[in-house]
Chains A and B, each alone.
Chain A
Amino acid sequence: MQRYERCRILVEGDSSLAQEIAAEIEKEHRVEIIDEPHEELVMIKVRESVRNSLFYLGEALMCSCRVKLGDTIGHGMVIGTKRNLAYNLALIDAAFSSGIAAKKEADWEARIREEARKLARREAREATLIDKTRVDFSTMKVEV
């Protein structure tokens, strides 16, 4: 599982999953916090579709954290002020990047995939509600 998808599921899914995995990492390994979770900004860059050029839409408040696991630095970044989640994400990032917990990775990935399924279910339910607002022009009759 690639980092982007892993982060997406951990950010959008139930935050207790990241908490559980991070707790398991903490239990087995010594964690050094390089940057405590703190608020900062990310500028959102957008490619507009008229001339295919780039512009800055605006900024988003985010929370980031940096930890060290062995020799590997892990980054945790999430929009909002969820400091605990930023820390947990940093820990998980470091664990996956370092391979320090290779034996556990398969189990964590399985739990992340399970969360992905729940997320997909929720998204599919939302999609059904939105899809009902799709206009069906074929039902319109032409008056002669």
Chain B
Amino acid sequence: MAYVAVRGGQEAIEASLSLLAWERVKSGACVEIKDIADTFPDLIDQVMGESSLYAPELAALALKQAQGSCEEAVFLLRAFRSTLERPYISRAVEADAMQCARRISAAFKDIPGGQILGATRDYSHRLIDFNLRRETSETVRELRKEMKHIWKEEWEEAGLGKEDDKQAMGKNTLEISESDDAEADAETEPLFSGERLGRLPKVADYLRSQGLLAQYDSDDTTPSDATMEPLVFPTPRSMRLQILARGMTQGVIALGYAGIRGFGLGHPTVAELRYGNIEIAIDHPLGAHENSAEKDSYQADKGSAYYVGAIPVTEVEGVFEIEVEKADGGKEFTFDLGYGMVMGHGETKAIAMSVLDFCLRSEDKRFPTQDEEFVLYHVDGIEATGFISHLKLPHYVTFQSKLSSVRKAKDLANEDKSHAREGEQDDKTV
């Protein structure tokens, strides 16, 4: 059947867009981009993660334009990124170089470096705080000031106070002022950037030292890139990790949950979950390090690279019990890991990603979570929402075809019934 071009509806579409613009402004309220970025950091992280683009200010702008629709904001950001050139690929970030602001293990109580809860809702009561109804910018500033006053005393005790600053540098960058607005503005640096707390050893290294996890040499194979290459099965693991990292948060979580619940390979234990900043470095654009054998190593010749900034990420290593075949043909139990890393603070998604990474490495395809086509094609937000949304667009010709088929089938069925009835009548008459 040929497609038939149809014209019309131009005025209605224009009126619809005007109405959409009206919906955005009709309350008369306006929220600043900075306010969105500052007050909804988790939402910003979700949009950036699914867009696969770290750009907090643009994510906030996209959310404002999209009137809070996460899927629309992701669409806008993905579309925007396609307009920009990408001349650089960063030096490989070593996962253990993260400056942790949070780091926990569900596998071991005592871990080198300790369990660091950081800022978490894990132990909070999930009750609506009705006091927030009365919150104003003024009360927020007051609360902030109170908290910093308490910390100020602790910093002074630790030799990080005002006098220490004056001695050391002549100026206190975080000095708390009761009245000076300019100084208050200067204090707007994030307190929880999580930088430079120090490297912490990996929990999985303990399992490796015990011979319970396999050791792997560095594999410097150039990764596949989902933004440049079509999805072809079987996919390399690098492609799978990239697609899962930029997958729809709830989509990845749903499939990860299914993998644990019985539609996958098993129940992991979170060996380690980390949240913090990773530093991004770019080699000299003229390729001064092309001949370096270790050019992909974060540390190798790092000093001459360009530091361009740090971004927050969540990383998870989930440990699974597996059965492997020994050299003598017998079987034994050991462990393997699943890996998850997402932009920003996305702990549930990172855990689910580690489950799916493990499931997708399996050669056993009994469950859908082990089928890479099933998982990878369906977790991408743009693919999924784009395809589902297209169902709203005119399908007049194709539906006419379906209508005609159903009518024809019904007519045939009715004819058969009437023939059958006529046959019955004839039988009775006889």
Stretch at the interface among B177-185, B217-225, B368-376, B413-421: B217-225
For the complex, give the distance between the alpha carbons of A14 and B109 in Å.
40
The proximity string for A residues 2-16 relative to B, scoring 1 for CB distances below 8 Å and 0 otherwise, is 111101100110100
Q: How far is the CB of B179 from chain A (nearest CB, A)?
A: 22
Nearest B-chain residue to A134, judged by Cβ: B114
Residues of A within 8 A of B204 (CB): 49
Residues of A within 8 A of B42 (CB): none
Residues of A within 8 A of B341 (CB): 46, 48, 57
Contact of B197 among A55, A57, A93, A130 (CB under 8 A): A130
User: Is B237 touching A51 in the complex (CB atoms < 8 A)?
Assistant: yes
Q: Is A117 an interface residue (CB 8 A)?
A: yes
Nearest A-chain residue to B238, judged by Cβ: A55
Known: A11-B308, A55-B241, A75-B284. A49 touches B317 (CB 8 A): yes
Q: Is B337 an interface residue (CB 8 A)?
A: yes
User: Is B279 touching A121 in the complex (CB atoms < 8 A)?
Assistant: no
Q: Is A104 an interface residue (CB 8 A)?
A: no
For the complex, give the distance between the alpha carbons of A98 and B95 in Å.
34
User: Is B308 touching A62 in the complex (CB atoms < 8 A)?
Assistant: yes
For the complex, give the distance between the alpha carbons of A31 and B341 in Å.
42
User: Is B54 touching A129 in the complex (CB atoms < 8 A)?
Assistant: no
Q: Is A42 an interface residue (CB 8 A)?
A: yes
Residues of A within 8 A of B238 (CB): 53-56
Chain A residues 21 to 76 lying within 8 A of chain B, measured CB to CB, are 39-62, 75
For the complex, give the distance between the alpha carbons of A111 and B169 in Å.
10
Q: How far is the CB of A2 from chain B (nearest CB, A)?
A: 3
For the complex, give the distance between the alpha carbons of A59 and B313 in Å.
13
Q: Is A84 an interface residue (CB 8 A)?
A: no
Q: How far is the CB of B93 from chain A (nearest CB, A)?
A: 5
User: Is A40 touching B218 in the complex (CB atoms < 8 A)?
Assistant: no
Stretch at the interface among B63-71, B151-159, B393-401: B151-159
The proximity string for B residues 276-288 relative to A, scoring 1 for CB distances below 8 Å and 0 otherwise, is 0011111011000
The proximity string for A residues 105-144 relative to B, scoring 1 for CB distances below 8 Å and 0 otherwise, is 0000000001001101111111111110111010000000
Q: Is A77 an interface residue (CB 8 A)?
A: yes
User: Is B339 touching A50 in the complex (CB atoms < 8 A)?
Assistant: yes
Q: Is A101 an interface residue (CB 8 A)?
A: no
Q: Is B57 an interface residue (CB 8 A)?
A: yes
Nearest B-chain residue to A136, judged by Cβ: B114
User: Is B173 touching A121 in the complex (CB atoms < 8 A)?
Assistant: yes
User: Is A46 touching B85 in the complex (CB atoms < 8 A)?
Assistant: no
User: Is A40 touching B49 in the complex (CB atoms < 8 A)?
Assistant: no
Q: How far is the CB of B359 from chain A (nearest CB, A)?
A: 13
Q: Is A19 an interface residue (CB 8 A)?
A: no
User: Is A121 touching B116 in the complex (CB atoms < 8 A)?
Assistant: no
User: Is A130 touching B116 in the complex (CB atoms < 8 A)?
Assistant: yes
Known: A11-B308, A40-B84, A130-B118. A52 touches B284 (CB 8 A): no
Residues of B within 8 A of A131 (CB): 116, 197
User: Is A4 touching B302 in the complex (CB atoms < 8 A)?
Assistant: yes
User: Is B168 touching A47 in the complex (CB atoms < 8 A)?
Assistant: no
Nearest A-chain residue to B85, judged by Cβ: A40
Q: Is B355 an interface residue (CB 8 A)?
A: no
Known: A8-B307, A55-B223. A41 touches B88 (CB 8 A): yes
Q: Is B110 an interface residue (CB 8 A)?
A: yes
Residues of A within 8 A of B249 (CB): none
Q: How far is the CB of B329 from chain A (nearest CB, A)?
A: 26
Q: How far is the CB of B294 from chain A (nearest CB, A)?
A: 12
Q: How far is the CB of B321 from chain A (nearest CB, A)?
A: 15
Residues of A within 8 A of B212 (CB): none
The proximity string for B residues 212-235 relative to A, scoring 1 for CB distances below 8 Å and 0 otherwise, is 000011111111011100000000
**What 6 additional pairs, Cβ within 8 angstroms, besides A45-B296, A49-B315, A78-B308?**
A39-B84, A58-B51, A58-B343, A59-B54, A117-B169, A122-B174
A residues contacting B by CB (< 8 A) are 2-5, 7-8, 11-12, 14, 39-62, 75, 77-81, 93, 114, 117-118, 120-131, 133-135, 137
18 A/B residue pairs, CB under 8 Å, sorted by A: A7-B307, A12-B309, A45-B93, A45-B223, A47-B298, A48-B339, A52-B219, A54-B238, A55-B242, A56-B226, A58-B53, A59-B54, A61-B54, A75-B285, A80-B57, A121-B168, A121-B169, A125-B191
